[in-house]
């Protein structure tokens, strides 16, 4: 005879262990850090808002919408590359979970000193059950591969950038060195060396061509989409054409790379605009128009960062509630 167990016969679920004081304190610190970076991002948004709207009033709304869409796509593609790198270093985490860590953590770049983005990503990864060293390693490798990709793409805007910033030439000397460093064996050795210096365990397995290629391809596509974002704004009034599009792609690669290493400033403020203005003026825009579009681009970057981070956090929270109720 088969016994049917009713809900009254089912054993009570085990209560979740209470959080320790240290765990509660870490949760408070994480939330404080997230609120701080959101506040600083909002401050950056508000400080340029009036000029942003004045600039967009001269741009067709279709161009503005497509420009923001290209920027959102660039962020999502870059996040995919980051997630693939982190997946290669351990148990796969998937895009949704990776996006929450990467996108929310990346808001730390609005705090002066870009290192805060990586620290926040590590803390969010730890909260999700991943080792801080794994998150740091994934971000470190993606940064290195992304910089090499940017240097290659930057050649598209070399003449315009050099004419306004002669010192930028030293960046392109690094291209052959950077491409050589992307060899999986050399990249594995270099990453393990950095981890050893930081007193962290080396990579569990050598990196392969597949994951390096995925990260490089994602970075290159992200630069292209960011260039399309800038070109859509400029093309609406200056008609720079296809040649202008090529230059905008190279300019965004230069601007974002230089901005990354200007880590004293929040999100490379003031640095990326130099490259953008140089290329836009070379495409036929006046200095005033180019400067206005550079400011509009920065504001749209902030909007896109907040939108993608908010969506990723909301989606993760919804997924957690759904799994808890199940």
Distances in Å between the Cα of 15 and the Cα atoms of 19, 26, 321 are: 12, 22, 17
How does pLDDT run across 14-45, given as a tens digit for each residue?
Answer: 444 555 665 555 555 555 555 655 565 555 55
**pTM to 2 decimal places:** 0.77
Average pLDDT over residues 108-121: 76
The Cα 238–Cα 245 span in angstroms is: 12
pLDDT (0 to 100) of residue 185? 92
Domain residue spans in the chain?
26-325
Q: Which two tokens stand for residue 311?
A: 């969506």
Q: Of the candidates 57, 90, 114, which has an alpha carbon nearest to the alpha carbon of residue 293?
A: 57
The Cα 111–Cα 114 span in angstroms is: 7
The Cα 284–Cα 295 span in angstroms is: 18
pLDDT at 190 over 70: yes
Q: Of the candidates 141, 145, 136, which has an alpha carbon nearest to the alpha carbon of residue 200?
A: 136
pLDDT at 301 over 80: yes
Average pLDDT over residues 173-199: 86
How does pLDDT run across 236-290, given as a tens digit for each residue?
Answer: 776 567 777 888 888 788 777 766 665 444 545 556 677 677 777 766 677 777 7
The answer to whether 276 touches 290, Cβ cutoff 8 Å, is: yes
Return mean pLDDT, the chain. 76
DSSP, res 166: G
SS3 92: coil
Percent of the chain with pLDDT over 90: 18
pLDDT (0 to 100) of residue 61? 75
How does pLDDT run across 152-161, given as a tens digit for each residue?
Answer: 888 877 766 6
pLDDT at 232 over 90: no
CA quadruple 157, 160, 163, 165: dihedral positive or negative? negative
Q: Which two tokens stand for residue 135?
A: 């998150």
| Long-range Cβ pairs for the range 255-261 (8 Å, 24+) | 256/150, 256/223, 256/226, 257/147, 257/150, 257/151, 257/154, 257/171, 258/168, 258/171, 260/114, 260/143, 260/147
């Amino acid at each position: 005879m088969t016994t049917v167990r009713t809900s009254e016969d089912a054993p009570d679920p085990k209560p979740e262990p209470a959080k320790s004081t240290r765990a509660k304190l870490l949760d408070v610190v994480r939330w404080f850090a997230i609120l701080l970076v959101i506040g600083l991002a909002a401050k950056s948004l508000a400080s340029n808002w009036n000029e942003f709207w004045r600039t967009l009033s001269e741009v067709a709304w279709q161009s503005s919408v497509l420009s923001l869409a290209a920027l959102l796509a660039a962020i999502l593609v870059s996040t995919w590359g980051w997630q693939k790198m982190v997946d290669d270093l351990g148990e796969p985490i998937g895009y949704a979970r990776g996006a929450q860590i990467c996108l929310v953590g990346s808001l730390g770049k609005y705090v002066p000193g870009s290192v805060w983005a990586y620290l926040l990503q590590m803390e969010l990864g730890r909260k999700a059950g991943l080792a801080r060293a794994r998150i740091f390693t994934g971000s470190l490798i993606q940064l290195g591969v992304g910089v090499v990709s940017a240097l290659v793409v930057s050649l598209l805007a070399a003449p315009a950038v050099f004419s306004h910033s002669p010192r930028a030439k030293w960046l392109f000397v690094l291209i052959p060195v950077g491409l050589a460093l992307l060899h999986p064996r050399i990249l594995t050795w270099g990453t393990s060396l950095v981890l050893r210096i930081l007193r962290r365990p080396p990579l569990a397995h050598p990196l392969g061509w597949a994951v390096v290629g995925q990260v490089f391809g994602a970075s290159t596509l992200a630069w292209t989409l960011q260039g399309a974002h800038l070109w859509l704004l400029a093309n609406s009034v200056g008609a720079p054409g296809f040649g202008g599009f090529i230059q905008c792609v190279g300019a965004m690669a230069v601007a974002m790379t230089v901005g990354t290493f200007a880590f004293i400033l929040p999100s490379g403020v003031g640095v990326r605009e130099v490259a953008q203005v140089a290329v836009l003026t070379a495409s036929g825009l006046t200095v005033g128009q180019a400067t206005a579009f550079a400011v509009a681009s920065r504001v749209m970057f902030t909007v896109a960062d907040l939108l993608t981070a908010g969506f990723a956090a909301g989606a993760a929270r919804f997924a957690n509630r759904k799994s808890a109720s199940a």
